[in-house]
């Protein structure tokens, strides 16, 4: 059976106020073509389809179109909700969904896997939506039993106990689990929302063992946790970069070939994973140096999304304007002067201080150099003008 694993689309997300809608639409066009070309049987999407609980209409339409086209390829689609999604909104209408589209967004759905047959028999696809401990610690226990511990480990362990119990009713069936969680050993970036509860945000890898393939969502970098978990386990990562901490990521989807069941009871199926890089709409590049050094690289990086860290001892005049001439897609600018002592705390201004001296000191603190006579004249004229207006009123 051929499975395509993709996750964390975050439809509706922006990148430092840049709308990513057209790039997300282009990715989904590419994805549908890939599913057709590589004859994918099942597409699994473990959460964070939307970027927010109440998505924009444009994002809802984009998802609707993508699911319709994926269903049109003949592939089965299994989708769960993540910590950014609203499980109720994402799962709305799941009972009316067209054949081949399965939305597993709630706790009861854990016990109702999607069954898909191939030449080797049955494959069960279990969906673990994002399990918020405070929300599900009572749902995952029998009536009359005390709530589970308030931790990601406790609720994930309980959910997987249900998965394994259900799987025993299907002897010889292979199991694929979609889980939106942070597994210990995974590498995070700064664009993922913190999942910590009581200071703990991850699930020990050993909790997740014993599955034929674990399709993980939440972390935005593609990574293989097979050795850590002790079973085939991957994060596909997000298809696009959502912060400069992801500039070195190779954004990907995963093509998973799931072989025949293990020869002996307890043996897992043979799994082969192929990493396929997604289209890159524009590179993310972080440049550090003096303004002159940064501008000298505009020929190489002029078409990139850029974060510029300017290190001139004195802040260059018209910094943003000069940067944008060389980098029309500039997203972030930081001024981090080298060779200047870091100031501890906020400068103290005495009530009796001369206002013009205070303004001169402020300009010197911001730019790293004393005001020129022309700059001081501008400050003085502005100050005199304000004083005249106050006196006139």
Over residues 229-270, the pLDDT tens digits come to: 999 999 999 999 999 999 999 999 999 999 998 755 557 788
Please report the sign of the dihedral spanned by the C-alpha atoms of residue 66, residue 54, residue 222, residue 153: negative
Determine contact, residues 130/82, Cβ cutoff 8 Å: yes
Beta bridge partners of 307: 286, 332
273 and 288 fall within a common domain: no
Which residue spans within 218-278 are E strands per DSSP? 223-224, 233-235, 252-258, 271-277
From 276, 316, 275, select the one nearest 293 (Cα to Cα): 316
Running DSSP on this structure, what letter comes out for residue 244? G
Question: What residues have CB less than 8 Å from 97, skipping those under 6 apart?
Answer: 103
What is the Cα–Cα distance from 269 to 212, expressed in whole angstroms? 6
161 and 294 fall within a common domain: no
What is the Cα–Cα distance from 254 to 278, expressed in whole angstroms? 10
Find the domain containing 362 and state its range: 284-392
Select the more confidently predicted residue: 29 or 356.
Answer: 29
28 and 146 fall within a common domain: yes
Edge-first strand order for the sheet with 330-335 is 284-289, 305-310, 330-335
Q: At what angle do helices 373-392 and 355-367 cross, to 10 degrees?
A: 140
Q: ∠ at Cα 240 (234, 245), nearest 5°?
A: 85
What is the Cα–Cα distance from 150 to 4, expressed in whole angstroms? 33
26 and 163 fall within a common domain: yes
148 and 235 fall within a common domain: yes
Running DSSP on this structure, what letter comes out for residue 65? H
Select the more confidently predicted residue: 373 or 94.
Answer: 373
For residue range 285-328, what is the model confidence (pLDDT) as tens digits? Answer: 999 999 999 999 999 999 999 999 999 988 898 999 999 999 99
* pLDDT (0 to 100) of residue 199: 46
* pLDDT (0 to 100) of residue 205: 87
Kindly compute the dihedral angle of the four CA atoms of residues 30, 31, 34, 38, in this order, to the nearest 10 degrees. Answer: 180
230 and 375 fall within a common domain: no
Under the banding of pLDDT at 50, 70 and 90, the label for residue 389 is confident
236 and 347 fall within a common domain: no
303 and 269 fall within a common domain: no
Domain boundary (228, 259, 277) is at 277
From 42, 219, 187, 30, select the one nearest 114 (Cα to Cα): 42
CATH number of the structural domain spanning residue 250:
3.60.21.10
Lowest mean pLDDT among 19-28, 29-38, 293-302, 362-371: 362-371
Phi first, then psi, for residue 336 (nearest 5°) are: -130, 80
Lowest mean pLDDT among 304-308, 348-352, 353-357: 348-352
333 and 266 fall within a common domain: no
What is the Cα–Cα distance from 87 to 180, expressed in whole angstroms? 12
Running DSSP on this structure, what letter comes out for residue 330? E
Lowest mean pLDDT among 87-91, 111-115, 139-143, 174-178: 87-91
181 and 258 fall within a common domain: yes
Tally of domains in the chain: 2
254 and 235 fall within a common domain: yes
Domain boundary (277, 296, 314) is at 277
Domain boundary (277, 296, 318) is at 277
């Amino acid at each position: 059976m051929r499975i395509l694993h993709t996750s964390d689309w975050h439809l509706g997300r922006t990148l430092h106020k840049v709308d990513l809608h057209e790039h997300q639409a282009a990715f989904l066009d590419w994805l549908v073509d890939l599913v057709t070309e590589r004859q994918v049987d099942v597409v699994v999407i473990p959460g964070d389809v939307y970027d927010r609980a109440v998505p924009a209409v444009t994002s809802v339409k984009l998802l609707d179109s993508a699911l319709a086209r994926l269903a049109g390829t003949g592939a089965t689609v299994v989708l769960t909700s993540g910590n950014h999604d609203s499980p109720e909104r994402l799962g709305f209408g799941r009972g009316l969904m067209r054949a081949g589209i399965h939305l597993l967004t709630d706790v009861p759905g854990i016990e109702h896997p999607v069954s898909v047959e191939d030449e080797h028999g049955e494959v069960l696809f279990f969906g673990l939506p994002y399990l918020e401990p405070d929300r599900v610690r009572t749902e995952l226990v029998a009536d009359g039993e005390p709530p589970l511990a308030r931790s990601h480990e406790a609720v994930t362990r309980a959910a997987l106990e249900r998965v394994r119990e259900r799987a025993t009713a299907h002897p010889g069936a292979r199991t694929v689990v979609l889980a939106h969680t942070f597994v210990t050993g995974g590498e995070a970036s700064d664009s993922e929302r913190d999942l910590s509860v009581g200071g703990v945000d991850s699930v020990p890898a050993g909790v997740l063992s014993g599955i034929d393939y674990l399709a993980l969502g939440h972390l935005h970098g593609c990574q293989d946790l097979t050795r850590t978990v002790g079973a085939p386990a991957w994060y596909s990562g997000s298809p696009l970069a959502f912060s400069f901490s992801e500039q070195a990521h190779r954004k990907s989807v995963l093509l998973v070939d799931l072989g025949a069941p293990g020869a002996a009871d307890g043996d897992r199926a043979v799994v082969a994973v192929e990493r396929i890089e997604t289209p890159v709409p524009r590179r993310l590049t972080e440049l550090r140096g003096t303004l002159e050094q940064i501008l000298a690289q505009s020929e190489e990086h002029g078409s990139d999304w850029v974060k510029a860290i300017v290190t001139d001892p004195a802040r260059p005049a018209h910094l943003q304007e000069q940067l944008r001439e060389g980098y029309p897609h500039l997203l972030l600018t930081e001024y981090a002067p080298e060779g200047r002592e870091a100031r501890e705390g906020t400068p103290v201004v005495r009530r009796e201080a001369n206002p013009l001296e205070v303004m001169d000191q402020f300009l010197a603190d911001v730019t790293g150099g004393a005001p020129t006579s022309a700059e001081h004249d501008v400050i003085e004229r502005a100050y005199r003008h304000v004083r005249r207006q106050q006196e006139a009123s």
